[in-house]
Structure 1
Amino acid sequence: MSDNLDDFFAENTQWVDGDNEDSDSPEPSRPSRSRREMRRRRKRRQRRVITAVIAVVIVLALVGVGGTFVYRSLKGWVDSRSQPTEAADYPGPGSGSVSLTIEQGQTPTQIADALVKLDVVKTSGAFLSAFSAAGDDATLYPGTFRLKLHMNSADVVTILSNMSNAKGFVDVKAGDRFNDVIAAVVEQSDIPQSDFDKIVADGGKGILPAEAGGKFEGWLEPGTYSVSDKKSAADILTSMVKARIAKLDELGVPSGAQRERILNVASIAEAEVNRKEYYGKVVRVIENRIEQKMYLGMDSSLAYGLNKNGTQITTADIEDADHKNPYNLHNGHTLGLPPTPIGNPGEDAIKAAMNPEKGDWLYFVTVNLDTGETKFVATEDEFWQIRQEYKDNNPDAN
């Protein structure tokens, strides 16, 4: 029946020229074909359809097989990458001697490549694995380090993570005094102390801004500085002072005498407490005392004038019978701020000096030396109470 229907439709189908679809007079139907011819054409069409279907099936099969192959290959590659592999490493401890210089900002990968090039470690992978395994204990400081050939990577990480092993770089910390910074520079460079002394005696001419009054204290910006590549003491001091000026400009610190005063106040706050949350309160105590024409009485300033630390101060130092210490801010001596800053304050202390907290405090005492807890009060009676609390918490202190 199916064949008869096919023959019927094949014989009565009209062929229309596609280009004349819209013509009002369609072309007359073509002559009908014989049934035999139509069967042959139908079989050819069937063979073509079957052939096309088979071709599609084959292509899909090939794609499926290929896709499976590619997927398996990719998965194998990813798995191999994710599997921990032990990079080749020297057993150590090594021999001979070699120097490695780490520049500020170098990445662990760059340092690893340099170590391999010097034949300190066997592979960069071994060093990076050791660095990662060390976790928070690993800090790759800038500087020049003395190492050996054929070292174990873990040993190298330990050496590079110890700042005391670094040569050629100086780390200026908030609160450091000028003389201590220069002593570190002399140790890390080939420049003699006398070169710095000459610049200081000349009032830092050509290096310090006018508001510094010829004194370097307070005008060195905290940070890490390369000193081994500097040719002179002037070059080193210029880099530190320029960094300080740039930071003050960035913070919006007023220029002129006000800038020096802010550094002075900030240096005392930096030296008196060890928590930045207290800086603003210390500054307020300083300002309140100055306003009431009270002596500041800051031991940090007294110690600075004597080149001591706060724990070394004696009663005789405070009494200062001969009035030799202009940094003695205790009763009967220097009223107001010390002659210069007493250290190089950091950013937080400078911000506090510009915007101190509001309060009526006139006294403060660090009541717990272990935690740094400090209390601020407004009256003398309250002062003696927190002073006693300090003694109770620290029986071994003065």
Structure 2
Amino acid sequence: MSDDLADFFEENTHWVDSKGNTTSVKPPKPPKSRREMRRRRNVRRRKTIIVLTMVVAVLVVVIAGGFFGVRALRAIRDRNDGDTYSVQDYSGQGYGSVEFTVSQGESPSSIAKRLVEAEVVKSADAFTGVSSGMTLYPGTYQLRKHMPASSVAAILSDQSKAEGFLDVNAGERVSDVIKKAAALSEIDESEFQKIIDAKGEGILPAEAGGNFEGWLEPGKYDVKGLGSAQKILKTIVDKRVSKLNEMHVPTGNERQRLLIIASIAEAEVNSSDYYGKVTRVILNRLDRDMTLGMDSTTAYGLGINGTQLTNAQLNDSSNKYNTRVNKGLTPTPISNPGDSAIQAAMNPEQGDWLYFVTVNLSTGETKFTTGSVEEQNAQFEQYVKEYKDNNKSAN
């Protein structure tokens, strides 16, 4: 009972104010039972818990608001170049010369870090800030030390200023690719030739038969960064094999056959709209035991352009790539076909076409014959005349 009475009197000790005045006429009535006293204690505890909970909630809101407020202020500060707390940057034109290479797929933060290490820009934040939203192209660039970050970003986002990257284009021959690779990498062309003469040992797949033609994947390559002819050729061939696998091109001899057909289609017409028809022409002629009659193949065998062919060369059967006189496909592809030509070789259009003529060299317009053999021969003669007429007017 003593504890209960103590609680009661503790609860009701403030009967007078600070001046000694009585605050109530009568003291509160004592509780009638212990149950009532316990009820009052529970009410007080709940009130205390509620108050503490509200205090904690307010503190959390204040702390969170302060944290995010500071972050927002920092973001605003970083965006304001004229702010007194702006990131460190150089001014002026810089000095000296720095050769700087951006790798394929390299992140802006990585580029920024290396620019600081090369003493080109003063801080990584300065560069990432001004280059945000820009496309930074791979390649080797000529820069200077102590350049403003904005000037560096302008150069690295201008693809025309990139050096040292090789463009392998669809339809190019290996010989042309090698010349460009040697010039850009500053590796002697003889180093590439040694690998070609060794039939690409350790680089080419077995179905290539030791010949690189058709096995160079179109795209951009950091030939200067790769550093050796072996690495350059292996990188390009590996990418070709990977792409063919992604496209589900059949393996083995069928893969080489499809590359040959695709390369001829790529060389014969300059528009992907015609690849499907040209591949069907090739298959139709093979099915009829006809010669392919493609001048592009004959020119390839001689290492010249099709416009340089003579009648004697067109009738020379010793040229294994002369499909005017030799039946069947060529021994190897005659160029590095792109994806569209390869897809067309795998899925040729349906038709009875046996001949086609590019009647307009300016637009690339190409016409295909159809119908009986006699009808197609007549149409072919008509298209040849149209080609000659257009060619005369062009001259």
Task: Using structure 2 for the length normalisation, give the TM-score.
Answer: 0.71
The equivalent residue for 2:95 is 95
- Determine helix, strand or coil for the equivalent of 1:320: helix
Partner Cα separation in structure 2 for residue 116 and residue 81 of structure 1: 22
- Determine helix, strand or coil for the equivalent of 2:310: helix
Q: What is the Cα deviation at residue 88 of structure 1?
A: 4.9
Correspondent of 2:342 among 345, 350, 362:
350
The equivalent residue for 1:266 is 262
The equivalent residue for 2:313 is 320
Letter in 2 for 1:221: E
Q: Does the 8 Å contact 2:172/2:336 carry over to 1?
A: yes
The equivalent residue for 1:237 is 233
Q: What is the Cα deviation at residue 79 of structure 1?
A: 6.3
Q: What is the Cα deviation at residue 193 of structure 1?
A: 1.9
- Determine helix, strand or coil for the equivalent of 1:171: strand
Structure 1: gaps of 5 or more residues: 1-34
Q: What is the Cα deviation at residue 348 of structure 1?
A: 3.2
Structure 2: gaps of 5 or more residues: 1-27, 82-86, 371-375
Partner Cα separation in structure 1 for residue 124 and residue 364 of structure 2: 43
The equivalent residue for 1:340 is 332
Q: Deviations over 1:347-368 (max 9, x none)?
A: 3322322332211122334566
Correspondent of 1:85 among 80, 87, 90:
80
Partner Cα separation in structure 2 for residue 62 and residue 167 of structure 1: 61
Partner Cα separation in structure 2 for residue 390 and residue 153 of structure 1: 55
Q: Deviations over 1:47-96 (max 9, x none)?
A: 98579647845863674476256436525633653684335543453221
Paired residues in the alignment total 354
Q: Does the 8 Å contact 2:101/2:141 carry over to 1?
A: yes
Partner Cα separation in structure 2 for residue 321 and residue 387 of structure 1: 17
Q: Deviations over 1:203-259 (max 9, x none)?
A: 445544454344321222334444446575444434444444454455242413x43
- Determine helix, strand or coil for the equivalent of 2:99: strand
* Correspondence 1:123 to 2:123: yes
The equivalent residue for 1:253 is 250
Equivalent residue runs for 1:1-398 within 5 Å = 37-38=30-31, 49=43, 53=47, 56-57=50-51, 60=54, 63-64=57-58, 67=61, 70-71=64-65, 74-75=68-69, 77-78=71-72, 81=75, 84-86=79-81, 88-134=88-134, 138-141=135-138, 143-161=139-157, 165-205=161-201, 207-228=203-224, 233-249=229-245, 251-256=248-253, 258-309=254-305, 313-314=307-308, 317=310, 320=313, 323=316, 326-330=320-324, 333-366=325-358, 372=364, 374-378=366-370, 379-383=376-380, 397=394
Letter in 1 for 2:353: W
Partner Cα separation in structure 1 for residue 64 and residue 231 of structure 2: 61
Distance 1:180 1:305, change over 3 A: same
Q: What is the Cα deviation at residue 267 of structure 1?
A: 0.7
The equivalent residue for 1:5 is none
- Determine helix, strand or coil for the equivalent of 2:105: coil
Q: What is the Cα deviation at residue 105 of structure 1?
A: 2.9
- Determine helix, strand or coil for the equivalent of 1:99: strand
Partner Cα separation in structure 2 for residue 230 and residue 288 of structure 1: 44
Distance 1:285 1:88, change over 3 A: farther
Letter in 2 for 1:151: M
Q: What is the Cα deviation at residue 183 of structure 1?
A: 1.2
Q: Does the 8 Å contact 2:192/2:229 carry over to 1?
A: yes
The equivalent residue for 2:12 is none
Fraction of identical pairs, as percent: 46
- Determine helix, strand or coil for the equivalent of 1:38: coil
Distance 1:196 1:40, change over 3 A: closer
State the Cα RMSD in Å: 4.1
Q: Does the 8 Å contact 2:279/2:348 carry over to 1?
A: yes
Letter in 2 for 1:71: G
Letter in 2 for 1:222: P
The equivalent residue for 2:19 is none
Distance 1:349 1:140, change over 3 A: same
Say which is worse superposed, 286-295 or 208-217, in terms of deviation. 208-217
Partner Cα separation in structure 1 for residue 244 and residue 155 of structure 2: 35
- Determine helix, strand or coil for the equivalent of 2:353: coil
Q: Does the 8 Å contact 1:283/1:352 carry over to 2?
A: yes
Q: Does the 8 Å contact 1:207/1:237 carry over to 2?
A: yes
Q: Does the 8 Å contact 1:108/1:140 carry over to 2?
A: no
Task: Using structure 1 for the length normalisation, give the TM-score.
Answer: 0.70
Partner Cα separation in structure 2 for residue 252 and residue 291 of structure 1: 22
Q: Does the 8 Å contact 1:302/1:318 carry over to 2?
A: no
Distance 1:252 1:322, change over 3 A: closer
The equivalent residue for 2:5 is none
